[in-house]
Chains A and B, each alone.
Chain A
Amino acid sequence: MDKRTLCLYFQVHQPIRLRKYHFFDIGKNSDYYDDFANRSLTRKIAERCYLPANRMILDLIRRYGKNFKVSFSITGLAVEQFRMYAPEVIDSFKELAATGCVEFLAETYSHSLACLVDEKEFKYQVKRHTDLMKELFGVKPVTFRNTELVYSDEIGEAVAGMGYTTMLTEGARHILGWKSPDYVYTNSINPKLKLLLKNFRLSDDIAFRFSDKSWDQWPLTADKYAMWLESADGEIVNLFMDYETFGEHQGADTGIFDFFAALPEQILKNTNFEFLTPHEAAGKHQPVAPLHVPYPISWADEERDLTAWLGNELQNEAFEELYEIRPKVYALKNEDLLRDFDRLQASDHFYYMCTKLFSDGAIHQYFTPYDTPYEAFINYMNVLSDFIVRVDVEYAKAQQKAEKNKAETGENKAVEKAKEPKAKTAVKKSTAKSGGKK
């Protein structure tokens, strides 16, 4: 009997956190980031998770050679912070890349929800991320994973259009119905794109339940887990999770590292599973059916939809205002503005504004630096307001320059004339203002 596939994928992301940004700062201080928190958190998580986990994986690859394989995606924002605060993390990923047993996947540079804006934006951000991966690891990614595993038929079609043949997403129950996540599916519009679906039960057994002492299966051991895997019914089991599961969400004292280090031996010895990277897995298995996903799904919360990021009026307003300024930002090509625009797009900012406090409240609380979603909104909007001010100022400057050039070349005199009275009233207003304030 043919070997079945176990596919491991780990997500590496750290948002660049905003500082407390007051209304009085708008227009005066455009330093938006909490450097102290960003540095100390990056250092802390590097020491607790990324470095020891990478060491563990490297050891496993050395022990099992080509029989042990994993895949990662690392966001551009995480890479930026590693470069600043923990460059040894990048080195250790490079070391893993050199083994040939690790696949690095493509995603959006900023861990953004650009796929919901338009295809052009989506493509641009993916391209920037793949360029970065190529730069770091020497290989251009061939498999795609979207922010938070967000997927729909249309998003899949766009991804196929960018030349990817494999994409990861959630095995959402409301999409699959009676179907099993443990097979390869295809996009329903473009069948060339193969889909690997997360087995959320087996993934969450490790990612969320591992240390839960009220769980009737606690403590989880490697041989028990291998047994569960063996009893899965399909051809492929996809375990997708945050890399921070190791040492951060599940602390080292829970035994998570020992559990994972023991897992390959149990699986290779006692099951007929082999470890493959997503790209290899998609090449090996025949798709069983197209998957219809008319509305976007994700890997978050009970609903597995977008409501964690775009589920209330606060989130919708922040998201719309952010992308409204986009044409001007790109027209300007100003490095500082582009950098801030990247950072403001991280989906985390919208996640902090989520007001679903019931079934998933505990998880949301764990991930947010704010006391309430309202505070998150206020702070983000203050920052965004300052950003918009800067963009508008630069944009006006650029336009003036362009007009001057035009005037000098003697063209469009009529346009110049039409603009003149407007400039005059602006001057009038500002003098009236300074007079009134004394």
Chain B
Amino acid sequence: MFGWEFPPHIAGGLGTACLGLTRGLAKQGVEVLFVMPKASGDEDQSSAKIINASDVESLYEYRDVEEYWKNINFMQVGSNLMPYMDPERFAWEVNKSIREGGDERRIGFKNKYEFSGKYGANLMEEVARYALVAATIATQQQFDVIHAHDWLTYAAGIAAKRVSGKPLVIHVHATEFDRSGENVNQTVYNLERQGMLEADRVITVSNLTRDIVINRYHINPDKVFTVHNAVDFQSYQDMEVNRGVKEKVVTFLGRITYQKGPEYFIEAASKVLKRFPNVRFVMAGSGDLMNRSIRRVAKLKIATKFHFTGFLRGQDVQKMFAYSDVYVMPSVSEPFGISPLEAMRSGVPTIISKQSGVAEVLKHAIKVDFWDVDALADAIYALLAYPALSEFAAKYGLNEVNTLKWENAAFKLKQIYEDVKRG
């Protein structure tokens, strides 16, 4: 299995999903070798053996994979290539790589290459070198199936397949269309599409993503399968909070970017406040639309009832859920969307957009079109005003998320592995 990150050192949800999957697979009796660019040594190896690509001496050089790379230009990485990263984190990474002068590690690349394993400025170079190391690993290790997570590792998957002849499964957690809307980065698109074409099976995290893979990347539907994500609440602990505000609290939690639909939340809030004054709205997070959102809230004259918290870290996220009476995720486009599950786990009734992958697996969340502000306002109002509804949604929502287990995802995955092994 090729991944870019693995807990505890993660930038976002990709690493968490990889851990969940490997744990599930271990329960199904599937052994996993997990290759990552830079392991720190403190990864949880109970369900997968971690191979640190930085320790592997490459047997291959650039010219060996020249044919593959000839259509792909090396480039400096732009701003939206990171699959799951918040803006602060991104700025930090970029500054860090500038400070550290990202290129110093080139020296001696012929054999071992020290990966940063991050999403820095020389990401494309790391992607290429990771592929070289992958080819080496493929000759040294025993395995039946190659599994590559997201576009950063597709090249590695292809290289490993070429060397070993073993079948390749690629796992699409997000596509370039989710990250960038219609302004796709052509290089990333090409890498993604090449991975999908060369793969024997393509796994998508939702049917929504499956449709994108089929319609926007023109991949044969017969080899594209949906395996919904799950969520692991083993280490979850209920949090007691002493709420300061007596009003009900409706929460948006996520990056304040186009993809997450913050403006629909604000417009709906304004509508709800006209009919139901006993409520506060909170927008937790940060992003490039934050300032515009603040201006809009001021303009609508709801700023004493609509609050911004900035980016929340660690415990504050759970605290925010514990504060909430309704959770809203009005995403314009969301391959899956894990945060509604976290909200429901905290017993918070949840409203999600129909344009999210998670809508396919949830029955006890209220679903609206992201653009339908009136419907969103109605749903919020109903959850606030009718205790019977909110109690029902909270209770059954909690039961529901507890059934979304990685073992189920892993079970499906194992069937796909067996199927592809048979050819």
Contact = CB atoms under 8 A, between A and B. Distances in A.
Interface of A: 22-29, 312-314, 316-318, 320-321, 372, 374, 377-378, 381-382, 384-386, 388-389, 429, 432-433, 435-438
Nearest to A428: B387
A22 B313 CA distance: 14
Nearest to A384: B304
Interface string B341-360: 00000010000000000000
20 contacts: A22-B309, A23-B282, A23-B309, A24-B316, A26-B244, A27-B244, A27-B246, A312-B298, A314-B295, A314-B298, A316-B298, A317-B298, A318-B303, A377-B294, A377-B303, A378-B307, A381-B304, A386-B244, A432-B391, A433-B387
Contact of A317 (B280, B299, B316): B299
Given A389-B245, A436-B325, 20 more contacts: A23-B282, A24-B309, A24-B323, A29-B244, A313-B299, A316-B298, A317-B297, A318-B298, A320-B301, A377-B303, A384-B304, A385-B304, A385-B305, A429-B278, A429-B387, A432-B387, A433-B325, A436-B347, A436-B391, A437-B347
A378 B298 CA distance: 10
Given A313-B298, A317-B298, A436-B391, A381 B303 contact: yes
B347 A438 contact: yes
Contact of A377 (B243, B246, B298, B299): B298
A438 B395 CA distance: 10
Interface string B314-332: 0010010001010000000
B230 interface: no
Interface in B366-385: none
B245 A26 contact: yes
B384 to A, nearest CB: 10
Contacts of A29: 244
A432 B325 CA distance: 11
The interface size bin for chain B is 20 to 34
B54 interface: no
Contacts of A432: 387, 391
B281 to A, nearest CB: 11
Contact of A374 (B245, B290, B319, B325): B290
Chain B facing A: main interface SS: mixed
B387 A436 contact: yes
A26 B247 CA distance: 11
A388 B390 contact: no
B177 to A, nearest CB: 30
A383 to B, nearest CB: 11
The 3 closest A-B pairs by CB, nearest first: A27-B244, A28-B244, A432-B387
A19 to B, nearest CB: 15
Nearest to B319: A24
Contacts of A318: 298, 303
B336 to A, nearest CB: 27
B234 interface: no
A365 B299 CA distance: 24
Contacts of B311: none
Contacts of A23: 282, 307-309
Contacts of B316: 24
Given A317-B301, A378-B294, A27 B307 contact: no
Nearest to B309: A23
Contacts of A429: 278, 387
B394 interface: yes
B310 interface: yes
B242 interface: yes
B307 A28 contact: no
A374 B291 contact: yes
Nearest to B295: A313
B244 A374 contact: no
A28 B243 CA distance: 8
A25 B244 contact: yes
A313 B300 CA distance: 9
A433 B347 CA distance: 12
Nearest to A432: B387
A435 B309 CA distance: 27
Contacts of B282: 23
B307 A382 contact: yes
Contacts of A22: 309
A338 to B, nearest CB: 19
B242 A28 contact: yes
Contacts of B391: 432, 435-436
Contacts of A436: 325, 347, 387, 390-391, 394
B331 to A, nearest CB: 22
Contacts of B319: 24
Contacts of B308: 23, 378
A374 B316 CA distance: 21
A374 B242 contact: no
B24 to A, nearest CB: 30
A320 B304 CA distance: 11
A429 B316 CA distance: 26
B402 to A, nearest CB: 16
Contacts of A381: 303-304, 307
Nearest to B294: A374
A312 B244 CA distance: 30
A312 B242 CA distance: 36
Contacts of B246: 27, 389
Nearest to A30: B244
Interface string B114-157: 00000000000000000000000000000000000000000000
Contacts of A320: 301
Contacts of B387: 429, 432-433, 435-436
A385 B290 contact: no
Contact of A27 (B243, B290, B304): B243
Nearest to A392: B246
Interface in B260-311: 278, 280, 282, 290-291, 294-295, 297-299, 301, 303-305, 307-310
A321 B305 CA distance: 11
B303 A317 contact: yes
A436 to B, nearest CB: 5
Contacts of A28: 242, 244
B231 to A, nearest CB: 21
A317 B306 CA distance: 12
Contact of A378 (B242, B245, B280, B310): B310
B94 to A, nearest CB: 19
Contacts of A25: 244
A28 B294 CA distance: 24
A88 B335 CA distance: 65
B199 to A, nearest CB: 45
B304 A26 contact: no
